[in-house]
Amino acid sequence: MEPACGLLARYREWMDLPPHTRDQLTLCEGNTPLIPVPRLAERLGGGFDLYVKYEGLNPTGSFKDRGLVAAVAEAWGRGAQAVICASTGNTAASAAAYAARAGLKAVVVVPQGKVALGKLAGALAYHARVVQVQGSFDHALDLVRQAVERHPIALVNSINPYRLEGQQTAAFEIVDALGRAPDWLAIPVGNAGNITAYWMGFTRYHRAKNTGLPRLLGVQAQGAAPLVLGHPVEKPETVATAIRIGNPARGQEALQAARESGGRIIAVPDAAILEAQSWLAEEGIWVEPASAAGLAGLAAEIRQGRLDPQGKTIVVVCTGHGLKDPDIVLQHADALPTIEPKLAHLEPYLTADR
């Protein structure tokens, strides 16, 4: 007997998946830590409980594993031979890993030159066929949608409903850990599947167990903020590549979720995202830039007096690991000192303030 681990073992009864779904598919994803960050709460003014849901600790380094385990298990059970997705990178790596695990082929279509190093390498490492498109993520998704109309290949982007069924498990875990829903959940928003899935999870649990509902603070990058502007963005630009999306597939559902929850979707500049990434690193939590958008948005709302955190429990979702995008840290770092192997040369660095 293999030990049961992963989301299909733990939360299958809460997921609306067809009977043919291959429940044995797992990389022991999910069960990620909810890390208390009291010093970070102090930095934002204090007087409340702040937690980081650290989704970078999933098997391929992002929350996408929650959705892909479900979507690939369903496709596998249906008899699909291959899966396809458009991706800013993390979906690609995750789809590739779960397809490999299931013995299926994976084709991933990515915007040329716009994918962080660790993600592209991941997709290749897991043996996906990687195709670059001369265009944006939105062009890649459009192409993939056309492809599945003509070819017997399973689409595993977040327009696939089973993706959301899997991703909602993060909300279950938060409620299971806290004993009830938090007051606020701050979360980055790109293609808007994840915020939609969280809301689905919180409401599904609340209906069954009366665990309460959070307000949702969805956060986009200012250069890629269609849900804040109210129209698609032709050429989305942001350092946060995972949310560089101009026309979110789940945009309307995300707006509705935010509204229903009594929350909202806002935008923050790249500088604020990078600052939040640095704050998290000071807590020992390294995330890729997009993952820090939730915290950046929370900080902005508190600072501007639009969100009163006093006495509240707030969860910030950090969606992906910093190792996915090492370039961004190296780009912003000072040149490293290089010395001869002599103690005297090292000593100036032992006391110097950073």
Site residues, ligand PLP (CB under 6 A): 62, 64, 90, 158, 188-194, 242-243, 288, 290-291, 319-320
Q: Which two tokens stand for residue 40?
A: 């970070």
Q: Report the residue number, 15 or 192, with the smaller CB distance to ligand PLP.
A: 192
Q: Report the residue number, 211 or 291, with the smaller CB distance to ligand PLP.
A: 291
Q: Which long-range contacts (CB under 8 A, 24 or more apart) does 226-231 make?
A: 226/251, 227/189, 227/192, 227/251, 227/254, 227/255, 227/265, 228/265, 228/266, 228/267
Q: Report the residue number, 26 or 168, with the smaller CB distance to ligand PLP.
A: 168
Min dist CB 226 to ligand PLP, Å, is 12
Min dist CB 257 to ligand PLP, Å, is 11
Q: Report the residue number, 61 or 77, with the smaller CB distance to ligand PLP.
A: 61
Q: Report the residue number, 182 or 294, with the smaller CB distance to ligand PLP.
A: 294
Q: Tell me the residue ranges of DSSP E strands in the chain.
A: 34-36, 49-54, 82-86, 105-111, 129-133, 154-155, 184-188, 215-221, 264-268, 313-318
Min dist CB 324 to ligand PLP, Å, is 7
Helix (H) or strand (E) holding 194: helix 193-209
Q: Tell me the residue ranges of DSSP E strands in 80-196.
A: 82-86, 105-111, 129-133, 154-155, 184-188
Min dist CB 299 to ligand PLP, Å, is 17
Residue type (1 letter), 211: T
Q: Report the residue number, 214 or 320, with the smaller CB distance to ligand PLP.
A: 320
Helix (H) or strand (E) holding 269: none
* Angle subtended at Cα 146 by Cα 140 and Cα 148, rounded to the nearest 5 degrees: 105
Min dist CB 220 to ligand PLP, Å, is 9
With left for phi above 0 and alpha for psi between -120 and 50, is residue 268 left, alpha or beta? beta
Q: Please, is 129 exposed, middle or buried when counting C-beta atoms within 10 Å of its C-beta (0-12, 13-18, 19+)?
A: middle
Q: Report the residue number, 77 or 248, with the smaller CB distance to ligand PLP.
A: 248
The DSSP 8-state label assigned to residue 55 in this structure reads G
Q: Which residue is nearest to ligand PLP (CB)?
A: 320
Min dist CB 3 to ligand PLP, Å, is 28
Min dist CB 61 to ligand PLP, Å, is 9
Min dist CB 315 to ligand PLP, Å, is 15
Residue 246 near residue 233 (C-beta atoms within 8 A): yes
Min dist CB 274 to ligand PLP, Å, is 15
Q: Report the residue number, 168 or 313, with the smaller CB distance to ligand PLP.
A: 168
- φ, ψ (nearest 5 deg) of residue 255: -60, -40
- φ, ψ (nearest 5 deg) of residue 156: -120, 20
Count, residues in the chain:
354
Q: Report the residue number, 192 or 267, with the smaller CB distance to ligand PLP.
A: 192
Neighbours of 93 (CB within 10 A): 32
| Residues sharing a CB contact under 8 Å with residue 168, sequence separation 6 or more, in sequence order | 14, 15, 197, 198, 200, 201, 204
